[in-house]
Structure 1
Amino acid sequence: MWKVRKFVTNVEDVLHDRGPDLAKPLRIGTAAVVVQNPYAGKYVEDLMPGMEALNALGRDVAQRLLKALEAKPAEIEAYGKGAIVGADGELEHGAMWHPSGGWGMRAILGDTKAIVPAGKMVGPVGVRLMMPLGHVNAAYVRSHFHTVGVSIDDAPRADEIVYALGMATGGRPHARLGGLAAKDIKGEDGLR
């Protein structure tokens, strides 16, 4: 059902953000898949079969991202997901990625507790989506509120969707604005 045109990954190593060099570089990455939208140009009432068919693709994209980051699951501290729907689609087609992308990451990262933040949009070829990131076990960890951009020069075409995941090995460099610290997480309810 979901015909893949290509996969795209991007990884960056952040050494500092105007402050002193970090003891260990922050690794932030995205992995995206460009798929043909089987619902483009028409309204379909029941999208559930399409959403369920994305599950294997969600795990595949998550695995590609973890491999590109050269990280172990326990080293990932922040995550997020997003979708860019081509102009012949609708926002709901991007929303199909919520369970597939989120659970895909959870399947490879283990027992994460926090909701996976998401961004989605309908947009033209090459548009940049800023995907929100949050801590994997506690949504209230302010230092891990971050974004990571994803864009692909030739996607999404009008009848395509870009589904993307983001992961990071830590929070913002030099975070110093208080709130719940990652070291103080209880990890019981996904919030604190």
Structure 2
Amino acid sequence: MPEVNIRKIITAVEEIHHEGGPRANVPLRRASIMAVIANPYAGAYHEDIQPFMEDLKPLGVMMAQRLVETLGGDAGAVRGYGKGAIIGAGGEIEHGALWHAPGGYAMREVLGGAKAIVPSTKKVGAAGTRLDVPVTHVDASYVRSHFDSIEVGINDAPRANEMAVVLVMTTGPRVHDRAGGLAAEDITGEDGLR
């Protein structure tokens, strides 16, 4: 199996106090982490690519831990999450699918067993490509107040033979959420939906 060759890691955090309405009592914090790594399958079609998922698992855990630290160190404070990948032009969209399990399971592990599916997106693009990573509540996908996205990208990545794998986390709902639907305090199920 190929080793994960990291070129750089980019971490960003934003703190939202208001969106034109009243100031939030506690600002919403949103953070992303992106690792730019070599794509061992770039440049040619490879039938068997699944072994790379095993190699990505430690990277996923490290990134999830760093993201929790970026948001203050309390995994219990994380209420939203998502993941994504940008694959350089020498690769294919399926290479981004290799991040689904390592990225998602890493966040669930680090967050202590979050139940909701981790929303995801991926695309092939050149250096500078931007990606909107979807966010949902960590325990129930139907909590509308936590539907969000975080835009990520970096000017010099991914190069054609690279991929950028991304995790995002938030500390709560949108600052002025008022679109109704299932409220976080009304989650009843353990199926990750409601």
Which TM bucket (shorter chain)?
A: over 0.9
The amino acid across from 2:157 in the alignment is A
Provide the aligned C-alpha RMSD in A.
Answer: 0.7
In the other structure, the counterpart of 2:24 is 22
Q: What is the DSSP-based 3-state SS (H/G/I as helix, E as strand, rest coil) of the residue aligned with 1:114? A: coil
1:118 aligned onto 2:120: yes
Partner of 1:53, secondary structure, is helix
CA offset at residue 67 of structure 1? 1.1
Secondary structure of 1:60's counterpart equals: helix
Contact 1:87 1:122 in 2 (8 A): yes
Q: Report sequence identity in percent.
A: 53
Amino acid at match of 1:181: A
The letter of the residue matching 2:161 is D
Gaps of 5+ in 1: none
The whole-number CA distance in structure 1 between the counterparts of 2:72 and 2:58 is 21
Partner of 1:80: 82
Residues 23-102 of structure 1: pairs in structure 2 closer than 5 A: 23-102=25-104
Aligned to 1:147: 149
Q: Distance in 2 between matches of 1:119 and 1:110?
A: 23
Aligned residues: 192
Which of 124, 132, 135 aligns to 1:133? It is 135
Shift of 1:179: 0.4
Partner of 1:108: 110
Deviations 1:150-184 (A, max 9, x none): 10111000100000000000011111011000010
Q: TM-score, normalised by structure 2?
A: 0.97
How far off its partner does 1:71 sit?
Answer: 3.7
TM-score (norm 1): 0.98
User: Would the aligned equivalents of 1:28 and 1:166 in 2 still touch at CA under 8 Å?
Assistant: yes
Q: Secondary structure at the match of 1:121?
A: strand
Runs ≥4 residues deviating over 4 A: none
